[in-house]
């Protein structure tokens, strides 16, 4: 029997990138907020520069709720889904933002209007067969003030390329117009990054430093980045990575309106006979609690958002909460980030100190920034070259067929080349398709007996064609900078479990094809909202987190401004 707790205005399920941001405008508006987090609180003392713990033994993912809820995977509905590998997300106050790369991009204007722009420029026949892509219910301009707000609230470093239509050649020439500059200048470059930028320019491309939720100088009383090289899967030892754990969550707590509950594992959203939600049931250790709330904001990861809705069945919602149109789990996709390119150079790159968010972006081949008339795909990719190396990873490098993988000849090879290799990160436009979706696995459960999510998804021709096109561009760039060997990864097949998972509770005006409305509120339940990339209908060619946070702020602001009409 669950212990009934005192009621609150808003309960947020998950205090990560999205929920941790939304808590601040809600608390500042005077609403009482309970934040339920499955993980614990960590501090800078937990973030040792330790490659074995962080990277080899995958410390961020060990011993926690999501490690017990790894989704099952299959390519098509005729395959059998199995669990393979781990869950890439972290449970903690601040969530995966504790150890993420912190690349904090705005989507480009094209990403909001894929159908309209493609139809206008090339004709409707260029929308790939079987894709369920829709235009967003609003344009980039609608989200701009929220991007701006979050960039300043949490702190994002970067180089603007377009302030109110005024172009700055140091920034991204393709970005949408922004109201003002980033609050901090971009992270520094290394000599190798300078060389890659020169090489890009000699190809006629337009290199620029990428944006990061990392302090390039002291900001809001927190330190500047120390570039020590353990940012990737490691938390920040000087609080220079601007997770909600060190930015919006403490500020929300300081209002006295946010109560953080850790180790709370939510299993069910409860519903009344009128079709409204009444709160959530969670377990903490062996105890069960019911947290009543006037509004429920679901803010866990994409897989867990869909899972919690599908598990929350009731008389009013027999297929799962907010699923009377059978849209929960639909329009799912994993960002195509694979199909990498790795190069060997005849000189040291001096990449031992740095971080993945310290790098060079090329947007010339992203979105619709180039003419697709003679091509067999729409969209494109962002090329990212960055500085990130640790000793075990370095010694585990490819030998490019130039040496065996052990013995004295190998030893001589790594002695010379451990600091001479670089791998590009290429994020590509990825679309939703009719045959790619999430549902509950009929067999596999977590330790408390709840079904895990089943992913049925594969990359289609459009994604594979982009991958092939972008690998050729990347190889050309590396060769221009003097690479003596270049190898390419496979183009991709199954959509795996990933940190860039989208859809399942898509946002849109049409309730027949979308779960939440343009403000992130359920089409079917007036006092239920959903935050996270699960509401995004397109990926763009860049990391989702800043867009997730801008949307979270917007949903929270809408809720606070319309509180009475929404909950009464």
Partner 1 sequence: MTDQKRPQLISRRALLRSAGAASAAAAAGAAGVPEVAALPMETAETTLAPTSETSQTTSSVGSRAAYEHLTAEEAELLEAIADQLIPADEIGPGALAAGAVVYIDRSLGGALADTRDAYRGGLAAFDRYCRSSRGAPFRELSYVDQVSALIDVETGAATGAGTGFAGSSAAFFGMVRSHVLQGTFGDPYYGGNRDFVGWDLIKYPGVRTSVWPRLQTQLEAGDLAPNHRSAYDSENFEKAVVRATSRGTSHGD
User: Where do contacts with partner 1 occur on this chain (CB under 8 A)?
Assistant: 44-53, 56-63, 67, 85-88, 99-103, 188, 190-191, 226-229, 232-233, 237-238, 337-338, 350, 352-353, 356, 391-392, 394-396, 405-408, 410-412, 414-415, 418-419, 425, 496-499, 543
Which CB atom, from 67 or from 375, has the smaller least distance to partner 1? 67
Query: Token pair of 198, please?
Result: 């020169």
3-state secondary structure of 478: helix
3-state secondary structure of 522: strand
Which CB atom, from 119 or from 423, has the smaller least distance to partner 1? 423
Query: Token pair of 393, please?
Result: 């990873």
Which CB atom, from 189 or from 437, has the smaller least distance to partner 1? 189
Q: How far is the CB of 350 from partner 1 (least distance, A)?
A: 5
Q: How far is the CB of 190 from partner 1 (least distance, A)?
A: 6
Which CB atom, from 199 or from 232, has the smaller least distance to partner 1? 232
Q: How far is the CB of 410 from partner 1 (least distance, A)?
A: 8
DSSP per-residue codes, 410-464: HHHHHHHHTTSEEEEEEEE----BTT-EEEEEEEEE-TTSPEEEEEE-B--HHHH
Query: Token pair of 95, please?
Result: 């969530």
Whole-number Å distance between alpha carbons of 180 and 28: 24
Which CB atom, from 315 or from 415, has the smaller least distance to partner 1? 415
Which CB atom, from 233 or from 473, has the smaller least distance to partner 1? 233
Which CB atom, from 112 or from 352, has the smaller least distance to partner 1? 352
Whole-number Å distance between alpha carbons of 109 and 112: 6
Which CB atom, from 233 or from 257, has the smaller least distance to partner 1? 233
Sign of CA dihedral 66, 68, 70, 71: negative
Q: Are strands 287-298 and 3-4 parallel, antiparallel or unpaired?
A: parallel
* 511: number of Cβ within 10 Å: 16
3-state secondary structure of 27: helix
Q: How far is the CB of 86 from partner 1 (least distance, A)?
A: 4
Which CB atom, from 99 or from 307, has the smaller least distance to partner 1? 99
Residue 7 DSSP class:
P
Q: How far is the CB of 235 from partner 1 (least distance, A)?
A: 11
Which CB atom, from 8 or from 103, has the smaller least distance to partner 1? 103
Q: How far is the CB of 252 from partner 1 (least distance, A)?
A: 25
Query: Token pair of 359, please?
Result: 């790098």
Q: How many helices (H) and strands (E) does the chain have?
A: 12, 22
Which CB atom, from 35 or from 356, has the smaller least distance to partner 1? 356
Residues 6+ apart with CB under 8 A from 454: 71, 72, 73, 74, 81, 438, 439, 440, 441, 442, 444
Whole-number Å distance between alpha carbons of 17 and 153: 13
* 201: number of Cβ within 10 Å: 12
Sign of CA dihedral 216, 217, 223, 226: positive
Q: How far is the CB of 57 from partner 1 (least distance, A)?
A: 4
CA 348 and chain centroid, separation: 32
Whole-number Å distance between alpha carbons of 47 and 231: 9
What DSSP element (H or E) covers 25? helix 19-28
DSSP per-residue codes, 110-171: GGG-HHHHHHHHH-GGGSPTTB-----SS-HHHHHHHHHHHIIIII-B---SEETTEE-TTS
Strand partners, 361: 208, 384
Whole-number Å distance between alpha carbons of 6 and 29: 20
Which CB atom, from 405 or from 445, has the smaller least distance to partner 1? 405
Which CB atom, from 59 or from 182, has the smaller least distance to partner 1? 59
Q: How far is the CB of 102 from partner 1 (least distance, A)?
A: 8
Q: How far is the CB of 240 from partner 1 (least distance, A)?
A: 11
Which CB atom, from 51 or from 270, has the smaller least distance to partner 1? 51
Q: How far is the CB of 380 from partner 1 (least distance, A)?
A: 19
Alpha-carbon distances of 483 from 161, 173, 306, 343, 383, rounded to whole Å = 29, 27, 44, 6, 16
Give the chain's end-to-end CA distance (angstroms, integer). Answer: 29
């Amino acid at each position: 029997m669950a212990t009934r707790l005192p009621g609150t205005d808003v309960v947020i399920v998950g205090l990560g990138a999205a929920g941790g941001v939304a808590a601040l405008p809600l608390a500042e508006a005077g609403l009482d907020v309970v934040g339920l987090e499955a993980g614990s609180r960590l501090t800078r003392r937990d973030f040792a520069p330790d490659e074995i713990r962080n990277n080899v033994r995958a410390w961020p993912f060990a011993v926690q709720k999501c490690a017990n809820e790894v989704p099952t995977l299959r390519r098509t509905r005729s395959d059998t889904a199995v669990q393979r590998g781990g869950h890439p997300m972290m449970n903690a106050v601040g969530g995966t933002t504790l150890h993420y790369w912190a690349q904090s991009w705005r989507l480009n204007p094209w990403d909001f209007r894929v159908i309209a722009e493609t139809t206008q420029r090339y004709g409707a026949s260029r929308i790939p067969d079987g894709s369920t892509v829709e235009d967003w219910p609003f344009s980039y301009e609608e989200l701009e003030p929220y991007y701006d707000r979050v960039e300043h609230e949490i702190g994002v470093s970067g180089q603007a390329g377009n302030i109110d239509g005024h172009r700055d050649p140091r920034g991204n020439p393709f970005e949408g117009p922004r109201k003002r500059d980033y609050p901090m200048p971009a992270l520094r470059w290394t000599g190798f990054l300078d060389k890659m930028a020169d090489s890009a320019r000699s190809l006629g491309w337009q290199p620029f430093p990428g944006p990061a939720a990392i302090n390039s100088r002291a900001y809001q009383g927190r330190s500047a980045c120390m570039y020590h090289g353990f940012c990737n899967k490691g938390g920040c030892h000087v609080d220079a990575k601007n997770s909600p754990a060190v930015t919006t969550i403490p500020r929300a707590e300081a209002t006295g309106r946010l109560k953080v509950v850790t180790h709370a594992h939510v299993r069910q959203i409860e519903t009344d006979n009128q079709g409204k939600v009444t709160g959530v049931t969670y377990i903490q250790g062996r105890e069960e609690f019911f947290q009543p709330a006037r509004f429920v904001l679901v803010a866990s990861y994409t897989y867990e958002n869909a899972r919690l809705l599908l598990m929350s069945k009731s008389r009013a919602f027999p297929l799962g909460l907010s699923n009377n149109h059978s849209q929960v789990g639909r329009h799912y996709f994993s960002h195509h980030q694979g199909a990498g390119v790795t190069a060997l150079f005849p000189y040291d790159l001096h990449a031992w100190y740095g971080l993945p968010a310290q790098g060079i972006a090329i947007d010339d081949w992203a979105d619709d920034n180039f003419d697709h008339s003679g091509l067999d795909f729409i969209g494109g990719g962002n090329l990212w070259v960055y500085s990130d190396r640790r000793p075990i990873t370095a010694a585990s490098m490819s030998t490019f067929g130039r040496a065996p993988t052990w013995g004295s000849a190998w030893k001589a090879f790594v002695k010379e080349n451990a600091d001479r290799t670089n791998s590009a990160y290429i994020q590509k436009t990825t679309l939703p398709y009719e045959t790619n979706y999430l549902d509950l696995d009929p067999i596999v459960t977590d330790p408390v007996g709840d079904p895990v999510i089943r992913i049925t998804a594969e990359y289609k021709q459009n994604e594979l064609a982009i991958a092939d096109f972008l690998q050729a561009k990347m190889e050309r760039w590396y060769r221009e900078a003097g690479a003596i060997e270049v190898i390419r990864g496979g183009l991709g097949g199954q959509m795996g479990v990933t940190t860039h998972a989208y859809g399942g509770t898509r946002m849109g005006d049409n309730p027949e094809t979308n779960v939440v409305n343009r403000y992130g509120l359920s089409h079917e339940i007036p006092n239920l909202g959903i935050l996270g990339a699960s509401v995004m209908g397109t990926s763009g060619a860049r990391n989702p987190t800043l867009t997730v946070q801008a949307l979270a702020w917007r949903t929270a602001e809408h809720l606070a401004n319309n509180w009475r009409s929404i909950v009464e």
